[in-house]
Amino acid sequence: MINFEQSKVLTFDCYGTLIDWESGVLAALKPLLSAHGYDLDDEEILQFFAEFEAEIQKGEYRKYQEVLTRVVQKFGEQFNFAPTNEELPSLANSIRHWLPFPDTVEALKALKKKYKLAIISNVDDNLFAFSAQHLEVEFDWIITAEQVKSYKPALNNFKVAIERIKLPQEQILHVACSIYHDIIPAQSLGISTVWVNRRAGKEGLGANLPVEAQADLEVPDLHTLAVLSIGSGN
Torsion (CA) 137, 193, 68, 24 in degrees, nearest 10:
-60
* Residue 39 annotated among the catalytic residues of the structure: no
In sequence order, the 6+-apart residues with CB closer than 8 A to the CB of 143 are: 118, 119, 120, 121, 157, 160, 161, 164
d(CA 144, CA 160): 10
**CA neighbours closer than 13 Å in the CB half-sphere of residue 100:** 22
Q: Which residues of 213-232 are buried (b: 16+ CB within 10 A; e: fewer)?
A: eebbbebebbbbbbeebbee
| Residue 13 near residue 121 (C-beta atoms within 8 A) | yes
Q: Is the dihedral of CA 2, 220, 186, 143 positive or negative?
A: negative
Active-site amino acid positions: 13
